[in-house]
Chains A and B, each alone.
Chain A
Amino acid sequence: MQGPDASAALLQLRGIGKSFGPVHALTNVNLDIPAGQVTALVGDNGAGKTTLIKCIAGIWEPSGGEIRWDGHPVHIRSPKDATALGIATVYQDLALCDNLDIVQNMMLGHETLKFGLLDEISMEKTARQTLKDLAVTTVRSVRQTVGSLSGGQRQSVAVAKAVMLEARLVIMDEPTAALGVSQTELVLSLITRLASRGHAVVVVSHNLNDVFRVADRIAVLYLGQLAAEGPATDFDPQSVVEIMTTGRSSRNGNGSEPAVSRGMNGLEG
């Protein structure tokens, strides 16, 4: 799978840095997130994955660098800014109300009204259509409470909620952590469907199996720096583990490695 030209990427990070006092959580990260593809963000604990997605999602403002959206420089100062651009983040804790049903959760904060009262019919239709578009067919009724759903179904609802708000970029933080085998399949197929529908998808994950199943591109963070970045076909699990733990790959000269050196070079610019 070859990604489009980097200049066409939906989201472009240029020299992004983030410091917390003396601690440099991110240093000079250059990364392109193209539409219609799944970009996996991998790295060891503390490598800066969470910091990076929080900078994109507007939770934290980067201390330096530039974020370009559709080729235009933007400032994302709050989650609202991110949402307005079309960036949706599905956090690990999902942030769903167990006591509300699927429709109520998906429409929360974006209820449609008719004569000042909630228009349940149009909301239910919208929610059902979104779930149908994403081929989430495992829920028996959209009127069941989210508390009764399985982990994978909850993840699906959280993603559907993000997509329904016309998100062009969906960031998913550890979407398959704490899920069983079949539930993981459910979520992975949902991720590929999202990308095939033209959304840009960023998946943060520890699980390299899952990463290689869905990712079109892989970006490896090491100690707050982008250690490698490129099409998934340029990597294999061993090389990714090596970069995650040491910051570089020992297999120089191997045909599949140019992406790594390109990523390293990117740090200079």
Chain B
Amino acid sequence: MASAGSDDPGQQPGAPVAVEDHAAQAADDAALVATTPDLIADSLGEYTRIWFRRVRSGESGVLPVVLGLIAIVVYFQIRSPLFLSAGNLVNLITQAAFIVTFGMAEVFVLLLGEIDLSVGYNAALGAVVTLWILSGAHPPPWWVGVIGGLAFCAAYAGLEGLIITWLRLPSFVVTLAGYLGGFGLLLAFIDMAAPNSGGTIRMNSSVLNAIEGGSMSPTASWIVMIAAVAVAGLFMALRDINRRRHKLAAPPITVTVLKIAAMAVAGIAVVLISNTNRGVGFSVVEGVPWVVLVILGLLVVWTILLNRTRFGRYVYAIGGNAEAARRAGVNLSRIRIAAFMLCGLTAGVSGIIYSSNLSGMSSNFQGGQYVLYAVAAAVIGGVSLFGGRGRMLGAVLGGLVVGVIYNGLQLLGLGAAAQNIWTAGVLLAAVTVDALARRSSTTS
């Protein structure tokens, strides 16, 4: 009788417990690396310890880009004392603003593991539509033009997304077509909107011109900064308190306080510098440029959308494992098309910022180059080209890096050659960090 006497399934219970203890020990190391230190550290010391381990293993979040930004700023300040002057810094912010927003636009599609090569010309088209609506003898209010332009951009990118999901074509090719078609449309639109103008359309709206050209009053700058830091700090503190109340792990109080302090320091620095008079001669120019408020607003709204809503969660899930998302009941096509539309919408904001800086839009717009800057900004900021990893804040910081390089080299009297070579080096370094992080995070 060879029945299963020796392998009786009834004699199990005891064994697994010991094994689990053993496995728990083994899993500890991996856990320390993979968890955000926020949620398992009990003290500042442990937080720092876990944080260092993560950095060593490549899971460092926005740290590399922050360090890179500081290093580049220090370098330029040593080479040219003018770099950190009020006039130049505000100039830098207005120069970098449209690249920052381009980078933010690209985040939506990069997170899906897709790419949008058409954001540049899409943005230019949106700007032309806005200016077109606002042209003429009796133009409607400025916001009608903005809504029209942004709606056009969202529709243009949404059409690309529709083709990509419907026909299952690679986004690279579809948006390449969108890029070429966009350039053609830009020439046609400008010709129609402003015939015989030599390929430029002027911006008539003083409100839109003020985005890049105008500043908040010094008092308003302080109020906005203090309010922003206070609200952000309050939310972070409330989140921790709420988690503790429900007996869930929360970051150590010191860490949260340090984060809020860092935000406050950065805010105070920006306002202090911007509030210094940077006018030439007798004219007084001071205050934080309006564009900072536009970018801050976009950053907050898009971060909430990506981190705190179902849509955002699904974007990350699709980028991580589309099949898993599909099996979980996520409508992949809907999320993909919506992400493309949001990418186009954000690009539209970028186009309006660009045309605000130029007081118009020209057919000489370098749509191809700006797309590559947009992708570079996002990747430098830690957004993975392979999808599923990255944050909005990263794209903002990455866009600042691109802007700082551009501005700093200009200040040193170096031209496009040096600027592109520098950007290339930084981009390469950023992609390497991303690849290393990916490799170390998927060893299990």
Nearest chain B CB to A116 CB, angstrom units: 7
Give CA–CA (A154, B4) in the complex, Å.
30
Q: Mark A133-166, 1 if CB is under 8 A from B, else 0.
A: 0010111110111011111111000000000000
B: contact size bracket = 35 or more
* Residues in B neighbouring A79, C-beta threshold 8 A: 327
Complex CA gap A147/B442 in Å reads 5
- How many A-B residue contacts, CB cutoff 8 Å? 177
The stretch of A9-17, A105-113, A219-227 that contacts the partner chain: A105-113
In the bound complex, residues from chain B placing their C-beta under 8 Å from that of A144 are 30-31, 34-35
Q: Is B444 close to A, CB under 8 A?
A: yes
Task: Please judge, given known A-B contacts A143-B249, A215-B9, whether A100 and B320 are in contact too, CB under 8 Å.
Answer: yes
Set of chain A residues within 8 Å of B10, measured between Cβ atoms = 1
Residues of chain A from 50 to 106 with CB closer than 8 A to chain B in the complex: 79-80, 93, 95-101, 104-105
Q: Is A183 an interface residue (CB 8 A)?
A: yes
Give the contact stretch, choosing among A26-34, A41-49, A185-193, A261-269: A185-193
| A185/B15 in contact, CB under 8 A | yes
**B40:A212 contact, CB within 8 angstroms:** no
Residue of A116, A121, A147, A233 with highest tally of chain B CB at under 10 A: A147
Which residues does chain B contribute within 8 Å of A255, judged by CB atoms? 1
Using Cβ atoms and an 8 Å threshold, which residues of chain B touch A192? 9, 12-13
Contacts of A197 in B (CB 8 A): none
In the complex, per-residue mask of A180-221: 1 if CB is within 8 Å of any chain B CB, else 0: 001101101100100000000000000001001111100000
Q: In residues 1-18 of chain B, which contact A (Cβ within 8 Å)?
A: 1-4, 7-10, 12-13, 15-16
A contact residues around B321 at 8 Å (CB)? 95-98
Q: Which residues of chain B are within 8 angstroms of A237 by Cβ–Cβ distance?
A: 4, 7
Min CB gap A6→B, angstroms: 20
Are the C-beta atoms of A149 and B3 separated by less than 8 Å?
A: no
Q: How far is the CA of A99 from the CA of B111 in the complex (A)?
A: 11
> A137 contacts which chain B residues (CB < 8 A)?
20, 24
Contact of B444 with A151 in the complex, beta carbons under 8 Å: yes
**Closest partner residue, chain B, to A212 (CB atom):** B7
Main secondary structure of the interface of A (DSSP, over half): mixed
The one of A111, A153, A234 in contact with B313, judged by C-beta atoms closer than 8 angstroms, is A111
Chain A min CB distance to B300 (Å): 13
> Which A residues, 219 to 266, have Cβ-Cβ distances below 8 Å to chain B?
232-239, 254-256
The residues of B that contact A125 with a CB separation of less than 8 Å are 246, 248
Q: Which of B8, B35, B328 is the one whose CB lies under 8 Å from A140?
A: B35
Does B319 contact A99, Cβ atoms closer than 8 Å?
A: yes
Q: A148-B33, A182-B22, A185-B16 are in contact. Are A95 and B324 (CB under 8 A)?
A: yes
Query: Which chain A residues lie closer than 8 Å to B389 at the CB level?
Result: 99
B317 within 8 A of A: yes
Residues of A within 8 A of B242 (CB): 121
Most buried by A among B4, B7, B20, B248: B4
| Contact of A23 with B by CB under 8 A | no
The answer to whether A124 has its CB under 8 Å from any CB of chain B is: yes
Contacts of B317 in A (CB 8 A): 97, 100, 104, 108
CB-based contact B30/A150 at 8 Å: yes
Q: Is the CB of A188 within 8 A of B16?
A: yes
Residues of A within 8 Å of B246, CB to CB, are 121, 125
Q: Is A118 part of the binding interface, using a Cβ–Cβ cutoff of 8 Å?
A: yes
Residues of A within 8 A of B31 (CB): 139-141, 144, 148
Task: Verify B24–A117 contact, CB threshold 8 A.
Answer: no
- Listed by A's residue number, 9 A-B pairs whose Cβ atoms lie within 8 Å are A97-B321, A104-B316, A144-B34, A150-B26, A182-B26, A185-B16, A185-B19, A216-B9, A235-B3
Residues of A within 8 A of B (CB): 1, 38, 79-80, 93, 95-101, 104-105, 108-111, 113, 116-118, 121, 124-125, 135, 137-141, 143-145, 147-154, 182-183, 185-186, 188-189, 192, 209, 212-216, 232-239, 254-256
Additional 14 contacts, C-beta under 8 A, given A111-B313, A118-B310, A182-B19: A100-B316, A104-B317, A109-B328, A118-B313, A141-B35, A143-B249, A144-B35, A145-B34, A149-B444, A153-B27, A182-B22, A186-B16, A233-B4, A236-B4
